[in-house]
Amino acid sequence: MVTPNDTDLASATFVDVDVLQGSGGETRQQAADGVPQLTTQSGTPVSDDQNSLKVGARGPVALEDHHMREKIFHFDHERIPERVVHARGYGAHGFFETYESLADVTSADIFQRAGEKTPVFVRFSTVAGNKGSADLARDVRGFAVKFYTQQGNWDLVGNNIPVFFIQDAIKFPDLIHAAKQEPDRDFPQAQTAHDNFWDFISLMPESMHMVMWTMSDRAIPRGFRFMEGFGVHTFRLVDAAGKSTFVKFHWKPKLGMQSVVWNEAVKINGADPDFHRRDLWNAIQSGNFPEWELGLQLFDEDFANSFDFDVLDATKLIPEELVPLRMVGRLVLDRMPDNFFAETEQVAFQTGNIVPGIDFSNDPLLQGRNFSYLDTQLKRLGGPNFTHIPVNAPKCPFAHFQQDGHMAMTNPKGRVNFEPNSYGAEDGGPRESAAGFKSFPEPAEDGAQKLRIRPESFADHYSQARQFYLSQTETEQTHIKNALVFELSRVERPAIRVRIVSHLLNIDKGLAGKVAAGLGLKDLPAPAMAAKPTRDDLPVSDALSILKNPPPSLEGRKIGVLLTDGANAETFAAVQTNAAANGMVVEVIAPMIDGVELSDGTWVEAQYKIDGGPSVLFDTVAIIISDQGATLLSKKAAARDFIADAYAHVKFIAYSPEALPLFEKNGIDLDAACVELTAETVASFFEALPALRYWAREPLVNAF
């Protein structure tokens, strides 16, 4: 039996050496200057950590050097296997606050009391890339939340896209094998622009809805703080009376959605491959805690039976216009891990971690994940006792008869390690409870047989893909087309490219024609055989578009200000004031990293040197320079790129009059989003920024 009274694994820490007292009250294992004494893992003080033990000054190293052997031994085993998928991840601690009681639909303890805060750990990730890959790969993003509830851990393991590539978990190994680097050459990694992936997709029509999402701007988010999250599957909520309500989980970012453009993503990966990590770290460390709201789509069996698609099909979604979200709480991330490996790398999420009041549906992809997520921990974390790791341990009382195994940190106390037993309450250990988890007694289909089939209700592979495409703005549709052309242009075998276009013909003929033209196909192929014809009567869903849902404010965005010596101090001060009023972060780029001296003698420290702070790192830019600064920057390729990229990536650009020659050298025609800074124009410039980009410029620059 294990209880927090025996060992509180969730809050376990190493004992501070400076509190270990000797028999006379003196502090042991503490250096003379008050710094804790370095010790071995077993606690032996170390006198020399610089030199191994040698036989003579130049002699061989002695095998008895126990400190060196332990140090090298541990170093040799520091790495554990990376995750097969979601290897590139970053996490943070926070809390979930419930808005209101949801006792009307669930008995889950976390949803019973308004205002209650539940500790959480959240991990964001890319799916396909290896642990050392870059943050801005075009990819699905994981959005996994571990709730430490009073009835055990609940893991909501989702993505930033509400649908998935496949309908049945048996195809998951094939999908990931196809998406990862090709096994004979071990490249390309962290990207799907290669033959294996698109060959697989071209033979799996059910993937086409997900392809529309991954070729959209959703797959290159501006940061974790600016993306939505989804539980993907249909789950059940169960109330105290045993009544079931179907549910889909949605996370909505308080800062609104935002993505980058593809050319920008490529350059960000070169300038700062840790862009998403750094953004989350800086936001939390500065007290600008990211927030999301949790919305539920709730529906009953009658709706599920009447819906045009099967709610158990993970390649389908329910439009928010059809089933509006019920906002039930907020997620706040307010603390970074003390150690990345101990928490973010070792955290173990499992779709099978649910609590009373929440249950599974028969979604075949979810059912397979329930096996896979538990099974993978054995390989990654070394054995069945991964819940003994503090980040994985529940924070509520827990008791069981599980014992031993690799790295067991604690075992049940006493004589009894089995159940049932006839020992009394004091010695017999934990017992079952009527209040414990009960699976929803879903009736089986009449005369159901064991069959390896896909239900007919899963057969429409194109209608929602078409709905998604038509719900995008013209700009977003162009980005999807460009992404498809780019990815397929990296595919070597022409037959694969042709098959993808044949699928696109079942989604939208205009899209298929543009992709075919971009690939140089002389003739369109026949449309792919469809198990069910594509419906053209599904309404546009504005919730599926990023640009139709602009952010509520500029909070959390960055403005990069390029400064030189002699730059107008009043103009810079006005930019700072307006940025602060809008919740924006100001970062300074300068010719030299130490900073610049403004026109009034004020010294301003720089965060970036010009060749290390490209404009791709910022949401908008301002160029405030002197005449001498303009002469200096005109000779620097990095400065010319700073302006050219900002313009090509359709950003709003503010500039002082002295910067005009730099625009002329770049051959840039100033437009409505290029604003000369004066006392009168600074405020109006910031008023236009919530649009984030000046999309009218994009057809002229073709920087998708």
User: For residue 329, what is the domain's CATH number?
Assistant: 2.40.180.10
Is 684 contained in some domain? Answer: yes
Helices (H) and strands (E) in the chain, counts: 19, 18
From 312, 346, 381, give the residue that closes a domain: 381
Last residue of a domain, one of 381, 397, 427: 381
In the sheet where 653-655 sits, what is the strand order? 608-609, 585-590, 558-563, 620-624, 653-655, 674-676
Closest CA to 392 of 155, 699, 213: 155
- Highest-confidence segment of 27-41, 587-601, 666-680: 587-601
Q: Which of 363, 381, 399 is the last residue of a domain?
A: 381
pLDDT band at 587 (very low <50, low <70, confident <90, very high): very high
pLDDT value at position 126?
98
Number of domains in the chain: 2
Residue 27 has pLDDT above 60, yes or no: no
pLDDT of residue 26: 42
Mean pLDDT of the chain: 93
Report yes or no on 36 lying in a domain.
no
CATH number, domain of 633, equals 3.40.50.880
Is residue 451 one of the residues assigned to a domain? no
Residues contacting residue 28 through CB under 8 Å, at least 6 positions apart? 17, 20, 21, 22
**429, part of any domain:** no
d(CA 287, CA 699): 39
Report pLDDT digits (tens) over 268-322.
999 999 999 999 999 999 999 999 999 999 999 999 999 999 999 999 999 999 9
| Band (18; pLDDT cuts 50, 70, 90) | very low
Name the 3-class secondary structure at 168: coil
In the annotation, is 159 catalytic? yes
Domain range for 599 is: 558-701
| Residue 24 clears pLDDT 50, i.e. is over it | no
- Is 602 within the bounds of a domain? yes
pLDDT band at 530 (very low <50, low <70, confident <90, very high): very high
* Among 93, 153, 159, 209, the one annotated catalytic: 159
Q: What is the pLDDT of residues 443-473, one digit of tens each?
A: 888 788 888 899 999 999 999 999 999 999 9
Predicted pLDDT at 424? 84
pLDDT of the residue at 12: 38
- Using a 10 angstrom Cβ sphere, with 0-12 exposed, 13-18 middle and 19 or more buried, the burial of residue 366 is buried
Contacts of 436 (CB under 8 A, 6+ apart): 356
Residue 269 falls in the annotated catalytic set: no
Q: Within a 10 A sphere around the Cβ of 30, how many other Cβ atoms?
A: 17
Q: Per-residue pLDDT averaged across 401-415, rounded?
A: 86
Q: What percentage of the chain exceeds 70 in pLDDT?
A: 95
DSSP 432-494: --TTS-----PPPPTT--------GGG---SHHHHHHHHHS-HHHHHHHHHHHHHHHHT---H
pTM for the model = 0.91
Q: What is the pLDDT of residue 1?
A: 39
